Amino acid sequence: MVTAAQPHRRALAVRHLGPNWYASVMGTAIVATAGAALPVPVPRALLTAVWALSLAMLGTLLAARALHWTHHRDQARAHLLDPATAPFYGCLSMALLAVGGGALTVGRDWIGTEAAVALDVVLFTAGTAIGLAAAVAVPYLMAVRHRVEPGQATPVWLLPLVAPMVSAALGPLLVPYLPAGQAQETLLLACFAMFGLSLLATLLMLPLVFARLVTVGPLPLALTPTLFLVLGPLGQSTTAVGKFAEYAPGVVPAPYSQGFDVLAVLYGVPVMGFAVLWLGFATAHVVRARRQGMRFAMTWWAFTFPVGTCVTGAESLARHTGLVVYDGLAVGLYALLVAAWLVAGAHTARGLLSGALLAGPRPALAAPLPVTVRTRSGAVR
């Protein structure tokens, strides 16, 4: 028998559940979708099971966040007004998009193509709308409501700006299911427009992040994994231009479809080169932080989705160049992705069972500090 106290306890348990938790859905979905195009065989049933897990996680988290907004609106508003937490609203968009894209990539093996298309249409539409809203609203709040200093810049600021790039990379999957002509071309070029707006916005924000690192010094230990977030726009944009090249023939006029083929290589190769450079840079920072006592926090999910986008980017370059080196890069990065997913997932499950990840901030962290520090729940205080 359900008592009145039980809903109250459930509502209380999600008071400190922030939008950063959607990163776990993104990281799980990318394991399934990235594995589907590897040059080495990965059991489809296993990938489908991982996607089904991401779908279940998304549904559970959406329900929990709805409970959070219903019973803890003060905390929800505080998240929006916190410059360290507000960018994570971009993760909601990317979680919806990642699960939707996975439905067409591997989920259709389980639910069928018709259901997969319907699910992706819903999730893509909602994810794109939320992503575009976050790309405008979060920078606006940072400019007019948040009080931030250059020394506070972190890769987390990139999250709302990357969300439209995820739409750009996954939207082309729906092109074949639209009526030929205006509908298909409109969707493809709309995805290209989102590629451009996300890329240019990222190019504006990334110098602030790098300048903070070289002038102020390394990030706080618990924030160090967020350096991997920089890989997101790099790998996702490489994936996006590859998708444009694959779906453009017959959708846009011949000169432009050929241009997408050229762009896939001439853009993708140097950007993936920079991604490899940044991977080494970020890994060195993480090794340093680990030696200095970095412990698990929800920021560890930054090791998953951004790396997964580099896997799909490398797979795209392998298809368009025919070079085996990109096949090898995709396999190596996928192994890193799976290892990171298993570690982050195990720690998250343990933290949920113990209650530590949903606990409020410790009293000792309530006083103002010169540098923001992340609690184990991933919320900056």
Find the angle CA(130)-CA(279)-CA(191) to the nearest 5 degrees. 30
- Written out in words, the top-level CATH class of the domain with range 16-353 is mainly alpha
How many other C-beta atoms are found inside a 10 Å radius of the C-beta of residue 270? 11
The size of the chain, in residues, is: 381
Q: What is the 3-state secondary structure (H, E, C) of the chain?
A: CCCCHHHHHHHHHCCCCCHHHHHHHHHHHHHHHHHCCCCCCCCHHHHHHHHHHHHHHHHHHHHHHHHHHHHCHHHHHHHHCCCCCHHHHHHHHHHHHHHHHHHHHHHHHHHCHHHHHHHHHHHHHHHHHHHHHHHHHHHHHHHHCCCCCHHHCCHHHHHHHHHHHHHHHHHHHHHHHCCCCHHHHHHHHHHHHHHHHHHHHHHHHHHHHHHHHHHHCCCCHHHHHHHHHHHHHHHHHHHHHHHHHHHCECCECHHHHHHHHHHHHHHHHHHHHHHHHHHHHHHHHHHHHHHCCCCCCHHHHHHCHHHHHHHHHHHHHHHHHCCHHHHHHHHHHHHHHHHHHHHHHHHHHHHHHHCCCCCCCCHHHCCCCCCCCECCCCCEC
Pick from 182-186, 231-235, 251-255: least confident: 251-255
Q: Are 86 and 138 in contact (CB under 8 A)?
A: yes
In this predicted structure, the answer to whether residue 5 has a pLDDT above a threshold of 70 is no
4-13, 204-213, 319-328: the lowest-pLDDT one: 4-13
Better pLDDT: 10 or 252: 252
Q: Is the pLDDT of residue 258 over 70?
A: yes
pLDDT band at 16; cut points 50, 70, 90: confident
Total-model pTM: 0.90
CA–CA dist 97, 170 (Å, integer): 7
221-235 mean pLDDT: 96
Burial category of 367 from C-beta neighbours within 10 Å (exposed 0-12, middle 13-18, buried 19 and up): exposed
Looking at residue 14, what is its pLDDT? 72
Q: What is the mean pLDDT of the chain?
A: 89
Give the Cβ contact number of residue 142 at 10 Å: 16
User: What pLDDT is attached to residue 18?
Assistant: 85
Q: What is the pLDDT of residue 106?
A: 96
Q: What is the mean pLDDT of residues 62-91?
A: 84
pLDDT band at 358 (very low <50, low <70, confident <90, very high): confident
**Which pLDDT score, from 0 to 100, does residue 9 have?**
61
- Band (pLDDT 50/70/90 cuts) for residue 381 is very low
Of 150, 158, 299, which Cα lies nearest the Cα of 230? 158
Q: In this prediction, what percent of the chain has a pLDDT beyond 70? A: 91
Tokens, residue 345 = 């997932």
Task: Write out pLDDT tens, residues 109-163.
Answer: 999 999 999 999 999 999 999 999 999 999 999 888 877 777 788 999 999 999 9
- pLDDT at residue number 10: 62
Q: How far apart are CA 337 and CA 206, in angstroms?
A: 23
Region of residue 351 (left: phi > 0; alpha: psi -120 to 50; beta: else): alpha
Q: Return d(Cα 14, Cα 73) in angstroms, integer.
A: 12
Strand partners, 380: 374
Average the pLDDT over 343-361 and give the result: 87
Q: Residue 281 and residue 252: Cα distance in Å, rounded?
A: 39
Report CA dihedral (231, 356, 287, 161) to the nearest 10 degrees. Answer: 20
Checking if the pLDDT of 247 tops 90, the result is yes
CA dist 379 and 298 (Å) reads 9
- pLDDT of residue 72 exceeding 80, the answer is no
Q: Euclidean distance between the first and final Cα of the chain, in Å?
A: 39
The CA-based angle 266-272-277, given to 5 degrees, is 135
- pLDDT (average), residues 258-268: 95
Q: What residue spans define the domains of the chain? A: 16-353
Asked whether the predicted pLDDT for residue 365 surpasses 80, the reply is: no
- Cβ 233 vs Cβ 202: under 8 Å: yes
Model confidence at 360, pLDDT cuts 50, 70, 90, reads low
Mean pLDDT calculated for residue range 190-214:
95
pLDDT band of residue 172 (cuts 50, 70, 90) is very high
How far apart CA 133 and CA 69 sit, in angstroms, is 18
Q: For residue 368, what pLDDT is reported?
A: 42
Among 4, 7, 3, 57, which Cα is nearest to 30's? 57
